[in-house]
Structure 1
Amino acid sequence: MILNWWKWLLITGLILLLTGCWNRTELNELSIAVAMGLDISEAGQYLVTVQLVNPKDIASKSGGAGGSPVSTFRSQGRSVFEAIRRMTTKLNRKIYLAHLRMLVIGEDLARKGIADPIDFLSRDHELRTDFYVVIAKQAKAGDILDILTPQERIPANKMYGSLEMSEKAWAATGKMTLDMLISDLQSEGKSPVLTGMFMVGPHSKGQKMDNLQSSTVATLLQYDGIAVFKSDKLIGWLNENDSKGYNFIQGKVKSTVGVQKCLGGEVAVELIRTKTKIKGHLTSDGEPEVSIEVYAEGNVGDVTCDINMLDPSSIQQIEQISAQTIKASIQDAVRNTQRRYKTDIFGFGEALRRAYPKHWKQWKQNWDDTFVNLKVQVTVDVDIRRTGTINQSVKSRVRK
């Protein structure tokens, strides 16, 4: 009797282990979305665009002679969720968002506020929140997603890879995932920023297959500037110089190139490593103050100056010029943000909160007003590691 009871218990346990997924969906029943665009329609509703992969054309080995690798679909709704569901009236498959790579928000919608439209994306259990979020600069997000990109068959992958590459090599852009964006929106001492994406060329040509097949690209997508937010509303843009200054403050500059004037020409320095420290201080008058310390290492890229690279004083001169250039970029970013936008995108408030938590309870009540007049001290130290394989510029060795 006891033996039979153990047999039934074992069988029951095995049955539970062998059960399948009750909510499984076959792959051929899904439309895989790799990018989503959010805009506001003329009627004031959300206009949602999804970029869907065309599996047959992606798998095709015929190169550019096949069909379009992606298709875009649009739908309107009073909420993002409603618009996505309404899109099923145009498709025979369920839209699958788990492979989303890019979220593009139109500038018009961003100026009205992004908190409400991204609520669904942060709430949906199917979504991974590690995709990147960017702003369509002077454009509709849906128009950005229509553009076919020549170097990468799936435009969303191009946008994703280009953002990572530009952040590593140029430093005027920055990656922002949905999780990071929500964290900044909730922060009391830091306003969010997002990288801008700009359409270069006519929209009508960029959505045609000719844009993939021609050696001269008619329309392309380019990252340009950083969008400044106050609360959840876009209020303006940082130019390229200020965007670099912002990223230096954030310690996000992995590598970039800076060109500085020197005696008789210019010198280009490739920064290969940077480190930033932001510290909060309290003055003798009880006022908050912030110091920024930047350390950078670099290599000389090209030189048109009349200088000798074997002379230590020449290297020291290049280091000083490079440090001055970085410092000016940081100071411009801080000064312009204080004057134009009056909101702390740098996280100075967070630095002061960590250093003086008791004082922060008082400062945070009117932090934006305090930020406008906040004193910021900047120090930059640059070390040149390599000068290349020649000691003098080619120009200086040319026979007269």
Structure 2
Amino acid sequence: MRRNKWIVLSLLLVALLSGCWNRNEPERMLYVYGLGIDYKDGEYNVYVQIIDFKRVAKLEQPNTDPNQSETGFATGKTIAEAIFNVYNSADQRIYWGQLTYVVLSEEALKNGAMQSAIDTFLRYRETRYQVLLYGTADSVKDVLLTVPIVNTAITLSRLGDPKNTYDQSSSVEPVDIRRMIIGLNEPGHEMVIPYMEVSENWETVTGKDQIAQLAGGGLITPKEFKGFLDIEKISGLRWMNEKTQRGEVTFSLNSGEDFMTAVLQKIKVKVTPVVEGDSVKFDIDVRMIGEVSAIPIKIKKDEIRKKAEQEIKKQIEETYKEALKLDVDIYRLSEYLYRKDVKAWKRLQDKGKVELSDDSIRTLNVKITELNSDRKTFTEKIR
């Protein structure tokens, strides 16, 4: 009798342990890695990029199959409706926990897709704040269909893993949903997102590859898309960002005949607001260390330093003025006043921003505190 009681009790415990029966099996789900959002004819066009983790995981052997992903498409009056329309053609349950990046077209940005996308995904339990955000003037579908160089795993592409390339050459800093929310909620209420384009500057013996390339920066506010600055016009932004890991500047040594490139890092930026009655001006001090290698002519270290400092200062000023044409405080100077003197900021601000003009930067000092060379002397090697 006692034995029978133990058998019955064991069966009851087994029944209680069966709580995972209604869970989804990993092999019976489709995993979203990237998402593209466009806006045409009053509807959102959504492109969902599904990747095959079984192919991506085989890192011990070269991946000879370029088809590591597949992209689905649907439309809807809202982003959520378009996504549900994608479900209608999916063979398995779609899982959003691996969503890594979202690419938005200019038309989508102009029609408030940034706010809609953030609201949609942050309210869904499977997605995270670490989703990266990009803009593009090219076809969103074409950007999603770009392939990594030499068939690298798609999870290591420029879109999925931008920090790897940003550490080597810093231009426009990668932005995720978390940083976007913080930036738009702080005084100034403006952010810059990387803009991508489809490029064919890499090729194999079989033809050219379409890859995703950084094209510049998109200027975003909580309510509108302000515009786009290409990679040249936005070049000054990296010198005003202490998160810049490594940047280069090329400058002329003697009226355009000989050019030289310096690599800069360890950037330190100090912005001091100076309130003058009903206006505010800013004193900016930028410091960094540099390194040069190729030296085309015989020249002194101080001359190289001076030429590099002049070019960096020029880039900072030009980017500031280009952004000002779009009514954008690209260096977030308003926030510096907010941190330093909140009473003055409250008096001078309008919708979070203080009024800026071409001469709002009162002083701009750029100093390369240390300049090193790969060689022992600053002279050309072959004479």
| TM class, shorter-length | 0.7 to 0.9
Q: Which amino acid aligns with 2:322?
A: N
8 Å CA contact 1:190–1:349 kept in 2: the answer is: no
| Deviations 1:254-306 (CA, angstroms, capped at 9, x unpaired) | 111211211462222111321112222212x3421222211110111211122
- For residue 123 of structure 1, what is the aligned residue in structure 2? 123
Distance in 2, matches of 1:85 and 1:248, equals 43
Q: C-alpha displacement at 1:145, in angstroms? A: 0.6
CA distance in 1, matches of 2:344, 2:148: 51
- 1:225: how far off? 0.6
Looking at structure 2, the residues matched to 22 and 380 of structure 1 have their Cα atoms a distance apart, in angstroms, of: 64
| 8 Å CA contact 1:281, 1:289 repeated in 2 | yes
Change (3 A) 1:22 1:126: farther
Match of 1:253 in 2: 244
Amino acid at match of 2:294: D
Per the TM alignment, residue 213 of structure 1 is displaced from its structure 2 partner at its CA by 6.9
Aligned to 1:90: 89
Instruction: Tell me what 2:187 maps to.
Output: 188
Q: List aligned pairs for 1:277-292, cutoff 5 A.
A: 277-283=270-276, 285-292=277-284
Shift of 1:59: 5.6
CA contact (8 A) 1:255 1:272 kept: yes
Structure 1 counterpart of 2:246, which letter?
S
Cα deviation for residue 161 of structure 1 reads 5.7
When residues 112 and 389 of structure 1 are mapped into structure 2, their CA distance, relative to the original with a 3 A threshold, is same
User: Helix, strand or coil for the counterpart of 2:346?
Assistant: helix
SS state at 2:349 partner: helix
- CA deviation after TM superposition for structure 1 residue 34, in Å: 0.9
TM-aligned CA distance change 1:48 to 1:351, over 3 Å: same
1:375 aligns with 2:360: yes
> What's 1:205 paired with?
none
- Are the equivalent residues in 2 in contact too, given 1:110–1:234 (CA < 8 A)? yes
Q: Deviations over 1:301-334 (max 9, x none)?
A: 2111222xxxxxx111111111111111111111
In structure 2, the CA distance between the partners of 1:185 and 1:270, relative to structure 1 (3 Å rule), is same
Supply the distance in 2 between the matched residues of 1:62 and 1:252 (Cα, whole angstroms): 35
Is residue 351 of structure 1 aligned with residue 333 of structure 2? no
Distance 2:378 2:186 in 1: 51
**Residues in 1 aligned to 2:303 and 2:100: alpha-carbon distance in whole angstroms:** 44
Q: Does 1:321 align with 2:320?
A: no
1:242 alignment counterpart? 233
Does 2:21 align with 1:35? Answer: no
Counterparts of 1:98 and 1:287, CA distance in 2: 48
Deviations 1:55-100 (CA, angstroms, capped at 9, x unpaired)? 4544678856547111111111222222222212211212111112
Residues 248 and 316 (structure 1 numbering): CA distance in 2 closer, same or farther, change over 3 Å? Answer: same
Distance 1:55 1:373 in 2: 51
1: CA distance between counterparts of 2:88 and 2:36? 19
CA contact 2:301–2:378 (8 Å) conserved in 1: no
Aligned partners of 2:133 and 2:176 also within 8 Å: yes
**Matched residue SS, 1:175:** coil
Call closer, same or farther: CA 1:53–1:366 in 2, change over 3 Å.
closer
In structure 2, do the counterparts of structure 1 residues 317 and 212 end up closer, same or farther at CA, with 3 Å as the change threshold?
Answer: closer
Question: 286-295 or 227-236, which moves further after superposition?
Answer: 227-236
Give identity over the alignment, percent: 19
Structure 1: any 5+ residue segments left out of the alignment?
Answer: 1-10, 203-210, 308-313
Q: Is the 8 A contact 1:53 1:154 kept in 2?
A: no
Give how far 1:240 is off. Answer: 2.3
- SS across alignment from 2:216: strand
Deviates more, 1:167-176 or 1:319-328: 167-176
Distance 1:79 1:157, change over 3 A: farther
Select 2:321's aligned residue among 299, 313, 335.
Answer: 335
Distance 1:105 1:366, change over 3 A: closer
Partner residue in 2 for 1:175: 174
Relative to total residues, which structure has the larger helix share, 1 or 2? Answer: 1
Measure the CA separation in 1 of the matches of 2:91 and 2:79: 20
- With the length of structure 2 as denominator, give the TM-score of the two structures: 0.85
Shift of 1:54: 2.5
CA contact (8 A) 1:145 1:155 kept: no
TM-score, normalization by structure 1: 0.82
After superposition, what is the alpha-carbon deviation per residue over 1:198-239, rounded to whole angstroms, capped at 9, x for unaligned?
01249xxxxxxxx99756434222111111224442232223
Separation (CA, whole Å) in 1 of partners of 2:77 and 2:234: 35
Q: Distance in 2 between matches of 1:228 and 1:122?
A: 22
One-letter amino acid of the structure 2 residue matched with residue 235 of structure 1: K
Query: Distance between the aligned counterparts of 1:26 and 1:371, measured in 2?
Result: 56
TM-fit CA distance, 1:141 = 1.7
Partner of 2:224: 233
Q: Distance in 2 between matches of 1:215 and 1:365?
A: 57
Give the structure 2 partner of residue 274 of structure 1.
267
CA deviation string 1:93-118 (max 9, x = no partner): 12111112211111211122221233
Residue type of the partner of 1:234? F
Classify the secondary structure of the residue corresponding to 1:219: strand
List structure 1 segments (4+ residues) > 6 angstroms apart after TM superposition.
Answer: none
The structure-2 alpha-carbon separation of the partners of 1:99 and 1:212, relative to structure 1 and needing over 3 Å to count, comes to: farther
Q: Alpha carbon RMSD of aligned pairs, Å?
A: 3.0
Give the one of 265, 281, 287 matched to 1:295. Answer: 287
The structural deviation recorded for 1:152 is 4.5
For residue 46 of structure 1, what is the amino acid of its counterpart? Answer: Y
Aligned residues: 367
